[in-house]
Amino acid sequence: MGRNNRYIGVDLGATKTLAVLFDENLAPLGQARVKTPSEKGGEAVLDAILALIAEVCGLYSCDPAALTCIGVAVPAPIDRASGTVIQAPNMGLKDFPMAKRINKAVGVPAFLENDVRAGAWAEYRKGALRGCRNAIAVFVGTGIGGGIIIDGKLLDGSHGHAGEVGHMILQDGGAACGCGQYGCFEALASRTAMAKDAAAAIASGKSPALLEKAGSDFKKLKSSAFEYALAQKDPAVLRIVERSAYWAGVGMANLVNVLDPEAIVLGGGIVARFGSLYRDKAEESMRAHIMPGFVKGVKVLASELGDLSVPTGAAITAKEALDSAAAP
C-alpha cells in the first residue's frame, strides 16, 4: 500500500451527505458534510457529491485526481458490478450510473455499496467486530438494516440482497410496515415506529414534554425531541424508547438463533442517541428471547465507529474492490 494513497468514502443519505478523506491505513483525515438536494433529483445529488469530494480534498491539499479510489454508500438497492443505483425514489435516482459518473468527473475509480452493508463491514474491519469470524451488525434508525459476516466475509446472498433484517416478521399481524407487511422488525422498532407511538401519546395527552417540542407535527418527532422529553422524565417517552429496544432484542434474538454469531454490534441513529439505556434494554430482551444454549456465547457490542461506520465502509469496500480487480 503506497504511503500517499488517499481514499474517500461518501455516506449519501436522503437528508445529508458526508464525505470523509482517509489515509493509506483507512484512518480518517477529515470530513465535509452537506444537506442532500434530494428534491432536486439525481444530477443535483451527483453535483453535491462531487462538490463535497473537492471540498474535503481541498481541506487537506489533496488533488482529487490523485485519490486511489472513491466509495459511495447508498441507502438503496444497487448493482455493484455496474456501480448503478437501482432505485432511490426519495433522491430522484433510478438506474443512475453513479460510479461511472464520479469516475468520469474526478478521474479515479469509484464504487458503490449499500449503506448498512458498508457500515457492518467497517465495524468488522476497523471497529467493534474486529477479530470475529461470525458476527452481525444491526442498525436502528429511520429504517432498520443489517450486515452479516460469515467466516470473515460479508454475506451477499444469491442476488446481493442478504441482510434485510428489518423486514423479518416478529409479530405477524402487528404494526404496518412501509414494505406492505405487518409486524416487521422495522415497523416495531425504527424511529418511524417510535414516532407513530409518540403521536398517539401526544394525542392522548400522555406526553406533555413531546407536545411542547413537536406539537402535532409528525415530522418534528425526531430523535432530538425524544431526547428532550426523556430529559424531562416523560414516562410515555421512556416507554416508547424501551419498547423499541425490546423489539430490537427480539430481532437480534432471531438472528442469533439462526446464525449463531460471536457478537452483534448494535448501532444506528437511535442507538447512538440513547446509548446504554437503549443497548442494555435491547441486550436484556435479546437474552430473554434466545435459546438457552446461546446465552453465554454471544456478545452485544456498541458501534465503535458511530457516524463514521458508513463512510469508512464505503472507502474500505472501494479499496477492496479495486485490489481484487487488480489481482491476477
Residue ranges in contact with a copy of itself by CB under 8 A: 77, 133-134, 146, 148, 150-151, 153, 155-165, 167-173, 179-181, 183, 250, 253-255, 257-262, 289-294, 297-298
Contact 268, 142 (CB under 8 A): no
CB of 280 to a copy of itself, least distance (A): 20
CB atoms within 10 A of CB 71: 31
CB of 221 to a copy of itself, least distance (A): 24
Nearer Cβ to a copy of itself, position 180 or 205? 180
Contact 45, 38 (CB under 8 A): yes
CB of 251 to a copy of itself, least distance (A): 9
Nearer Cβ to a copy of itself, position 207 or 254? 254
Nearer Cβ to a copy of itself, position 28 or 174? 174
Measured CA angle at 305 (ends 114, 76), to 5 deg: 15
CB of 129 to a copy of itself, least distance (A): 12
Q: Which amino acid is at 24?
A: E
Please, is 256 exposed, middle or buried when counting C-beta atoms within 10 Å of its C-beta (0-12, 13-18, 19+)? buried
CB of 116 to a copy of itself, least distance (A): 13
CB atoms within 10 A of CB 25: 9
Nearer Cβ to a copy of itself, position 164 or 227? 164
Element (H, E) at 28: strand 28-35
CB of 261 to a copy of itself, least distance (A): 6
Beta carbons within 8 Å of 264's beta carbon, 6+ residues apart:
135, 136, 137, 138, 252, 255, 256, 286, 298, 299, 300, 301
Q: Tell me how far apart the alpha carbons of residues 303 and 309 are, in angstroms, rounded to a whole number.
A: 8
The residue whose grid cell reads 429504517 is 143
Q: Tell me how far apart the alpha carbons of residues 309 and 321 are, in angstroms, rounded to a whole number.
A: 18
Nearer Cβ to a copy of itself, position 64 or 119? 119
CB of 134 to a copy of itself, least distance (A): 5
Q: Which has the closest alpha carbon to 53: 44, 40, 63?
A: 63
Nearer Cβ to a copy of itself, position 29 or 86? 86
| CA distances to 59, 86, 186, 213, 251 from 182, in Å | 47, 25, 10, 30, 15
CB of 107 to a copy of itself, least distance (A): 33
Nearer Cβ to a copy of itself, position 141 or 166? 166
Nearer Cβ to a copy of itself, position 228 or 294? 294
